[in-house]
Structure 1
Amino acid sequence: MATRTTRSVGAITFSLVGFLFLVELTSGILQGFYVPLIPDLVDHLRIRDGDFNWFEAGGLLLSAIIVPVFSKLGDMHGHKRILLISTALTAGATWWLAVTADFWSFLAAWSLQSFYVVWLPLEVALIFDRGRRTGTAASQTRRAAGFLVVALEAGAIIGALGASAVLAAFGGDLMLTLFVPAVAVTLVFFAILFGVPESEPLPGRSLDLVGFGILTLGLIVITSGLVLLREDAGMMGLLGVVGLIAAGLAILVGFGFWVLRRPDPAIDLRVMRRPNMWPVLVTAGLFGISVLGAQAPLTTYAGTDPALGYGLGLSSGQRSIIIGVYLVAMITGALVFSAVSRRVAPRLSLIVATAVVALGYLLFLPFHLEAWQVITNMAIAGLGSGALVAALPAAAAAAAPRGQTGIAAGMTNTTKTIGGAFASAIFGVVLVAGVTGDETAAPLSGYLTVWAICGVGALVAMVLLFFVPKLAFADVEEDPALSPSA
């Protein structure tokens, strides 16, 4: 009987992963589709190239706010229900992007489209909930998360390669081109509605609106400081940056005092400071430095004229190939992680993945003058990055108590986003600081600093993961008395 039950639940989980694969494939398409169209979007909106950074800033800010709130709502009301709501909001924003032609409307729609960032944490929580009864929730979630990351990166490749082809097929009509991702998100809404079973939320929960309000205010203030950091505003601007970031951190300290006094807080810091949780969250933040902050510097380095003594001088098409190699490496890393996740201790897999990321970026320091060296380094970093994208939310979900899997998985995404936002702002300053006169290319010292920060950040994460208990994230049979149906 036990075997039959396990197989039944396993079959349901396999079906669930199949439908969620489509969701992450669509998420990847959204992330890759607009990148080749940026010059066309700039012309369409009649803005400057630099103004497009405001869309990135708006998306990052809303992402940092959305994920913890919607992850907590998923724990309270069911992860499928919140996944449907976030998909509907993403679909509406994507349709809005296709029909708007002014800067502020596009900025609002672009920011609201960021609701897709909560999909992966909710999916991880759904999978973990389905496997909980079998005592194999942790291992099933790790395997499934690897396949979801494969879908995510494959979708990014499809989106990046398909956008230009679709634009050409529609004769350069940008509006018709932007209808394509809107249709994809709309279709995936129905895939979730009819193909994904609901999780079992823990009853008696409440939403700490005051706590989330304080958190939102702190993130807005810090992000405002990071946006200002990107601007060349002199000493007064620097003082404003320091003041805003300090004020934001002070607000977050106040948030900590607030939630520690609440019985059901916005984010349970008592859980987040456990020895099997805080190293994972810090690792996610440090990982955000490279996976979100280092991609633009790598792209600009690949296009830098080698007559300067560094850079590769690659065309946009050749740079796309290098990015494609990185994404394929991430897919490979996620597949390898999925394949070995049941044979290798979860903590060890995290340590190895961070070590591989560190190796890839530190290799840039001595080896960066030839295209094959850059491609090799990016492929190595991509292998570790693909594994970490899958491993971190799965590890957080396994470490969280009943009823907090969604918020735990979501916090890895939030800390990763914050780490990437900090890195993006700091890297922008580092790459501009050494530019003199009429020069436009960033100095080699700036690129070396970027790669060193990425590599050292990954090494620090690797060391911190040794503080995780050896048996953390392992499968644990659930106590039947804790079941809502008991």
Structure 2
Amino acid sequence: MAFVILLSGIAQGYLTPLLPAVGLSLHISTVGQNNIYLLSQVAFAVMTPLLSRLGDLYGHRRLLRVSIAMVAGGSLLIAVRPSTVTLAVGVVLQGAVVGFFPLLVGILRSRAPERNRSGISLLVGVLLLSIGVGGLVAGALSERHAEAGLWTAVPVAVLAVVAGIVLPPSDAPRGGRFHYGAAVLLTAGLVALVLVLAQGSAWGWRAPRTLALAVAAVVLLAIWVTVERRSANPLVSVRMLSNPRLAVVSCFTFCASFGTIGFLGANALFLGASRSATGYGMDLGPQAIATISLAMVTAGFAGSALTPRLTRRLGDRAVLASAGGLVALGFLGMILFHGTLTQYVVCALVVGLATGLFESITRTLSAEAVAEQETALAVGLNELALSLGAAIGAAVIGAFFAAHVKAGSTHIAESGYLWGWGACAVIALAGTALALRYRSPRETNPAHGQHLAQSGELT
């Protein structure tokens, strides 16, 4: 499982930093590079619920193997024959990485329930570390030849294919049918929503096409909910969406990812900003920025590794709320202490630590909130909340940047960062308030806690 997640992290972390250099080498315009990135975001949003549901219906291992094959094929295509077309097709195929975590958790919960919590924390840690390492390795390979870094994911893809072959199947019960009409409605609605979030600041939030897409997204998703309620074989059970524990965890995930993932682009901009030209920033180059990013994901690995032990001692709700509080603390620290590199990095490491905590605890609680046969879909919904939170967070921060450009220049004013960090802190505090409303099944049903203790999940 760790080898499969390693491919997920590498695939998510290696390509985006290479796009400027690869785009220049292949004569892909800035708009074209942005469109390739946009395609990957659309693929993430669309494939998350589809792969999760198909896994619950037809077997987690079967769909995991399909997903690994798609990511491996996309990575090889990009490396062997890089062009605008192959990059576009490749990133869409690589979008299948969003199925890895839900499908792996489905296998883990079925075959080794006593290792559910410790296993998820380990997989989250590997994911975070591999995202950081992927960017560093790709950058090093591309120093002399921009396109060399495109091979970063290929050796890892081979290991993941082998791992997918030897993994056991899950024993989760299967049944039902795939609702194609609901899949079309959900796909169209999510594509419209992601396009609005990704392109709204560039098109203008009041532009006709932005408003038209926003209306289309709302209408399509509303129709999808209606269809799902009436279906005997829903794509995504609306009953699952009304599960109070799953609802709290998913909303918390949205709030936490709004800042922790949504601000990553802004983090690189601030670290690379020239203090002499802007009055702020750290004047760092790409390698130094990548090193700080790696330090942040290393802190995330530590947070993920600590999560099972903390939940045993403090309880699920306390750890969930602590993760949100740490996110808010990190961004409030950036507002108050960003004058020196040391101060800023300490605040960034707090955010990194919180990222590991929240990604581990939310995936664990999502899996445990539903019946075993719905595990992959529940974790998939949490992944979708994470993706949407990150996309909306990035869009909001981008809007603050656009509204705070220094007169007569293209530089973002320091106030733009202050407003962005402030928004991340406020949303994180909202998530913390939600976390305090979480009720563990051990609190509401003592027998459930006894069952978990006997199975080993609490030890």
Answer yes or no: same fold by TM over 0.5: yes
* Higher alpha-carbon deviation: 90-99 or 156-165: 156-165
Corresponding residue of 1:156: 131
Corresponding residue of 2:315: 345
* Structure 2: segments with no counterpart, 5+ residues: 453-459
Selected match of 1:115 from 86, 96, 116: 96
Cα distance in 2 for partners of 1:325, 1:158 equals: 10
Could you say what the CA RMSD is over the residues aligned between the two structures, in angstroms?
Answer: 2.1
Q: In 2 relative to 1, CA 403–115 (structure 1 residues): closer, same or farther, beyond 3 Å?
A: same
Cα distance in 2 for partners of 1:310, 1:276 equals: 43
Residue type of the alignment partner of 1:79: H
TM-score by length of 2: 0.91
* Higher alpha-carbon deviation: 181-190 or 32-41: 32-41
- Tell me the SS of whatever aligns to 2:339: coil
Contact 1:226 1:241 in 2 (8 A): no
Corresponding residue of 2:158: 186
- Tell me the SS of whatever aligns to 1:55: helix
Corresponding residue of 2:240: 271
Residue type of the alignment partner of 1:304: A
* Structure 1: segments with no counterpart, 5+ residues: 1-19, 479-486
Corresponding residue of 1:65: 46
2:76 matched to 1:103?
Answer: no
Selected match of 1:409 from 375, 379, 383: 379
Corresponding residue of 2:457: none
Selected match of 2:145 from 152, 172, 176: 172
Corresponding residue of 2:169: 198
Residue type of the alignment partner of 1:281: S
1:234 Cα deviation from its structure 2 partner = 8.3
Contact 1:221 1:244 in 2 (8 A): yes
Summarize deviations over 1:197-227 as a string: whole Å, max 9, x none. 1002323321111112111111111222224
Contact 2:193 2:213 in 1 (8 A): yes
Cα distance in 2 for partners of 1:224, 1:22 equals: 32
1:91 Cα deviation from its structure 2 partner = 0.8
* Higher alpha-carbon deviation: 329-338 or 27-36: 27-36
Cα distance in 2 for partners of 1:392, 1:278 equals: 11
Q: In 2 relative to 1, CA 477–220 (structure 1 residues): closer, same or farther, beyond 3 Å?
A: same
Contact 1:399 1:472 in 2 (8 A): no
1:50 Cα deviation from its structure 2 partner = 4.6
Matches within 5 A, 1:377-396: 377-396=347-366
Matches within 5 A, 1:394-473: 394-471=364-441
Contact 1:145 1:338 in 2 (8 A): no
Summarize deviations over 1:313-362 as a string: whole Å, max 9, x none. 22222222221221111111111113333333122211111111111112
Cα distance in 2 for partners of 1:233, 1:104 equals: 28
Cα distance in 2 for partners of 1:244, 1:33 equals: 31
Corresponding residue of 1:285: 254
Cα distance in 2 for partners of 1:73, 1:91 equals: 20
Contact 1:142 1:341 in 2 (8 A): no
Summarize deviations over 1:370-420 as a string: whole Å, max 9, x none. 111110111111111111111112111100123100000011111111121
TM-score by length of 1: 0.87
Corresponding residue of 2:216: 247
Aligned residues: 447
Corresponding residue of 1:371: 341
Q: In 2 relative to 1, CA 344–122 (structure 1 residues): closer, same or farther, beyond 3 Å?
A: farther
1:150 Cα deviation from its structure 2 partner = 1.7
Q: In 2 relative to 1, CA 429–286 (structure 1 residues): closer, same or farther, beyond 3 Å?
A: same
Residue type of the alignment partner of 1:192: G
Identity, % of aligned pairs? Answer: 25
Residue type of the alignment partner of 1:202: P
Corresponding residue of 1:43: 24
Corresponding residue of 1:10: none
1:284 Cα deviation from its structure 2 partner = 1.5
Q: In 2 relative to 1, CA 37–268 (structure 1 residues): closer, same or farther, beyond 3 Å?
A: same
- Tell me the SS of whatever aligns to 1:310: coil
- Tell me the SS of whatever aligns to 2:68: helix
Residue type of the alignment partner of 1:266: L
